Structures are given as structure tokens and as C-alpha cells.
Structure 1
Amino acid sequence: MSREEDFDDTILDDVVEVKSLSPDAALRRRRPRYKVICAGERPKEVNERLLQLYPFVDQKKTPLPTHWSHQDKAASLVVTNDYRNVAYADSGDPNQELNAKDAAAVRADHPIPITCGVYYFEVTIVCSGAECCMGVGLCERNVDLNRLPGLHCK
């Protein structure tokens, strides 16, 4: 069964409007559309698969990370209501140049439990903008979210 078949086919408009860094003016004005799944609700097959992959994790005591956090993020980021998409909300000024101070990060809803051993995750970059730098990585709880992952000093 494909991932698309696991969920309802109803497509809803997300309530958050985000300005994109896309060079295409039409893409910057278009509202994103998402399949909405309430946070915390997962199809039965997903829960069963997580139990198979991580048998030593007591998910009641140490839940697995499954989506982005609405609270644990840089102010310039917008997390959609389904908790699965993140967008950078720039000022909308096409003359404003972005620089290293415009870096932003978001954390997952829970840290990866130590008992996992190996934890697998995927990230898809949908639109990165014309001159954009993306970073995907892991960090500790105390890392500044206004920097890219891995660019912090201890």
C-alpha cells in the first residue's frame, strides 16, 4: 500500500499564508495546499511499523519524533497546521537581501530516544529559492534556532 493510499484524499487549504522565496512571482502568491492530518493521529499501519522498527522504545515514556514543533522553532519559520511542512516567511520585500542572519531552524516534536539505536527520517526540500542555503541535521535542545544545524559552538 502506498503512502498516499493510507490517508484521506480530501485536500484542504492550509490556514497559514506564507511568502515564498521563489523567483516565480506566481509561486510566491499561490497558497499552498496540503493533506491535513491532525497532529498526534497516525494511521494504524504507521503505528504498527514504528513498533516493528523500534521495539525497545517505550513510546509512552519516550515518544518518537513524528512531526515538526509549532513552538520550538525560529520566529521566521511557519509550521503548517498538519505539522508536516515548514516554510520560511520572509518580509516580502524583493529588494531585501538574505544573509546568514536570516538562518532559521525547527525541531521535531520529541527528541530521538537513545534506545532507538538508529533513527531514520526523511526531509523533502520542495522549493529552496533561487540563492538559498539549506541545512538538515540534528542538534541538542540548547542550540540557537536562528542558525543552521551544525553551525553552533560548544
Structure 2
Amino acid sequence: MRLPVYAPDTFWRATPEQIKKVCNGCGSEDGLKVPDTFWGLCVVLACYIHDWMFEEGETLGDYFFANAMFFWNLTAIVINNSNWFMMLLRMERALKYFLGVMFEKGQEAFWKNKEPNDAIYITYQGSLRVEFQIKTGGVLG
């Protein structure tokens, strides 16, 4: 069984140009630079979805949900594409990425160009998908 990847429906419908305009891959746009791979496995899709969710999010609930789905998507990509040994190594890195996002200017990035609030409800309308194809001119394959 393959684990599905979650994204807002607006991400699944977006054009490659729209994705490239919003998403910069793994690491912050103006800060910490990190690779898009975990031991040879490309995880940039999880990073793109997270960037997209940060752009669309409106509430504190959205912020926490975006981060939770980031870790879920990293986990799904790793489990779906790893043997047991590589899964251990890659999951260790996934946890480090997730913690880095949570504690390295995470809320600052989320609230950029928005009015901060403490609403806990989630505004995203999304879906889980096992099979998907996103064409971004070779960025995601």
C-alpha cells in the first residue's frame, strides 16, 4: 500500500508557472538553504506543497496544519520510495527538516504579507492523492 500525499486542491490544479511563482523548493527563500533530497530521494514535492500552503494559509490553524501535512508528505514520499534501511536514514532527516521548519522563522514566514491572528480553524480545501502528475518543466519530473 502506498501512502497518499496531501495538498490543497488549488495546488493540484495549478499550472507549472503558478507553482514556480509561489514555491522555491526546500529551505527558506532568504535563509537556510537545504538540499531537495534525502540520501538521493527527491522530496521537493513536499516542500512545494508546504510553500503553497504557507502562501494560501489564513489562520494559526492553517499554519499548524501546513506543518503537519509537510511532515506527513515527507513521510509518505520516504516510505513509498525506500527500503527499510534507507527509510531509517531518510526519516531521520525528515524529522530534522520538520523541526527546522517549526523553529526556524516558521511563523514569520507564514505571516509574511498577512495580518496575524490566533484563529484555530483550518481554511484549506484539499485532498489526498496516491497517483498524481505535476508538470513543472522538469523541476518535479
- Fold shared by both chains (TM-score > 0.5): no
Looking at CA atoms only, which structure, 1 or 2, has the larger radius of gyration?
1
Higher helix share: 2
Instruction: Considering Cα pairs closer than 8 Å and 6+ residues apart, tell me whether 1 or 2 has the greater RCO.
Output: 2
TM-score by length of 1: 0.27
TM-score by length of 2: 0.28
